[in-house]
Structure 1
């Protein structure tokens, strides 16, 4: 006899923009919020009874109402408000998961005397957050995606295994470029603990990732990844685990000899930027004594 397995429902990708006015100076929070709920939902699957079902339209309305009632201090704090509300206000809901993407805007500074209400969308990374609450404990995972970085030197790749199918020449001075996707899990798990300063934490994690990338003389992308993750764990006591996914955005020297030109790194080179196929390096860095809990496939987070 078939039985129902794990299930959830909710409203995905609620786009909410909150404008806060401080006189003539305005502030923007631009979020994409997805709500997933689970609990005593067997009957709606077996018989179609909606007696325990909070409509997904209601979850959408709650997102917009909470943006007004509570404001949006940070993606994580907003997710905490929502998750707590769904679990504590509905007897049939036992677990809430809130996933948030945040899109950053940079202020366009106007001439003196003009209002500070103009913005340009930043073209850097997208901020991420996932907040899960089951009525007893919390799991908060923050992250980012689409953070493209490049070192034009201080990177090698040599001494690797070679077999009859190996054609790649060793590189003693190469471009190292990648598009960082990362998730990090906080040690905060219950309301008895002091809540992290979410905005400051995100800014500092991003700083550590970028500084470690820039400061590491790279003998492999794996080494660079570990240094980036280790810098975060060493520098941020509130974080117990970070998982990074780094595609190697290959840059190959163009063969210019047919045109009588030497193309060498030491005198400034021309490269072909290949978009695929690409190497994909992924790993988790943990605080000693903690277990990995972030999924290997970051797209499932």
Structure 2
């Protein structure tokens, strides 16, 4: 039986990274009489490189402070503006690698919170819980962009069934040929080059959900991913996470009432969680397979 010996070189430092998480930034593009525009972001930065000394001896000579990373986000918003989150993330990631000889890879993750103008000038309304996302990896293998959307809540009142499933002694769920199908979509998609049109990809997800007669949420997931690949030829693969927001018919018989699929109880948990990736049936180039 082996035991740990003090002073023995039993351990080594594995993969590591550091950065500044969740820098909140709101940029107002002043439009004068034409009205203002708001960009509301949550930016996280992670860096990798020759950083072992900081972990092993506390030598910080290769460490760019995370506070500096935060300040860079704010400065870039002023100096370069924010056109789209993919471009902003790429600009930041490329800067950290180019400006720091000890940093070899950078990942910038951004969440964008949508606002709609109320009066066309200076007043805005937060547009629900849906969030646009982008993650940019930059390093020796080039730049890779993964875009997406989270919290996209969709519901259809019919055109959904669920039956023919496995039953054992613990099964109580009844089969149904007419049910509410609801989910909160978390989706990401990646390309080999320039980012895909996010609005077009989102529209494809919504259209597929609405237009698919569903016999299972798994089937709907595949149709949603396939629609993005059809509509956005530059996309290599789509990853989807679809929690099943269950809606159960309320038994109104004790009150002498029928319930022809009209009154439901919306359960938030526990919930089914359906996840999967839809990709093109071709070899993905090695240079775009790497992940941070």
Question: Per the shorter chain, which TM-score range?
Answer: over 0.9
> Do the aligned partners of 1:38 and 1:96 also contact (CA within 8 Å) in 2?
yes
CA distance in 1, matches of 2:77, 2:212: 41
The reply to whether residue 178 of structure 1 matches residue 183 of structure 2 is yes
Q: How many angstroms does 1:161 deviate by?
A: 1.6
Query: Normalized against structure 1, the TM-score is what?
Result: 0.89
CA distance in 1, matches of 2:263, 2:280: 41
Residue of 24, 32, 44 corresponding to 1:23: 32
Q: How many angstroms does 1:136 deviate by?
A: 4.1
> Do the aligned partners of 1:75 and 1:129 also contact (CA within 8 Å) in 2?
yes
| Paired position in structure 2 for 1:137 | 142
| Paired position in structure 2 for 1:113 | none
RMSD of aligned Cα (Å): 1.6
Cα-to-partner distance string for 1:111-149 (whole Å, 9 max, x where unaligned): xxxxx1211111041111100101441111011111111
The reply to whether residue 61 of structure 1 matches residue 71 of structure 2 is yes
| Paired position in structure 1 for 2:264 | 271
| Paired position in structure 2 for 1:41 | 51
Q: How many angstroms does 1:258 deviate by?
A: 0.5
* Structure 1 runs not aligned, ≥5 long: 111-115, 189-194, 296-300
The reply to whether residue 220 of structure 1 matches residue 213 of structure 2 is no
SS at match of 2:108: strand
> Do the aligned partners of 1:88 and 1:135 also contact (CA within 8 Å) in 2?
no
| Paired position in structure 2 for 1:254 | 250
CA distance in 2, matches of 1:144, 1:86: 26
CA distance in 1, matches of 2:270, 2:175: 19
Residue of 113, 116, 120 corresponding to 1:106: 116
Once superposed, which parts of structure 1, at least 4 consecutive aligned residues long, lie more than 2 Å away? 290-295
| Paired position in structure 1 for 2:85 | 75
Q: How many angstroms does 1:186 deviate by?
A: 1.4
CA distance in 1, matches of 2:215, 2:192: 32
The reply to whether residue 280 of structure 1 matches residue 285 of structure 2 is no
| Paired position in structure 2 for 1:11 | 20
The reply to whether residue 91 of structure 1 matches residue 101 of structure 2 is yes
Say how many residue pairs are matched: 279
Cα-to-partner distance string for 1:244-284 (whole Å, 9 max, x where unaligned): 0001111111010010001122xxx1001111111110000
SS at match of 2:20: strand
CA distance in 2, matches of 1:22, 1:278: 45
Cα-to-partner distance string for 1:66-103 (whole Å, 9 max, x where unaligned): 00011000111000000000001110000000010100
Query: Normalized against structure 2, the TM-score is what?
Result: 0.92
| Paired position in structure 1 for 2:4 | none
| Paired position in structure 1 for 2:171 | 166
* Structure 2 runs not aligned, ≥5 long: 1-8
> Do the aligned partners of 1:84 and 1:135 also contact (CA within 8 Å) in 2?
no
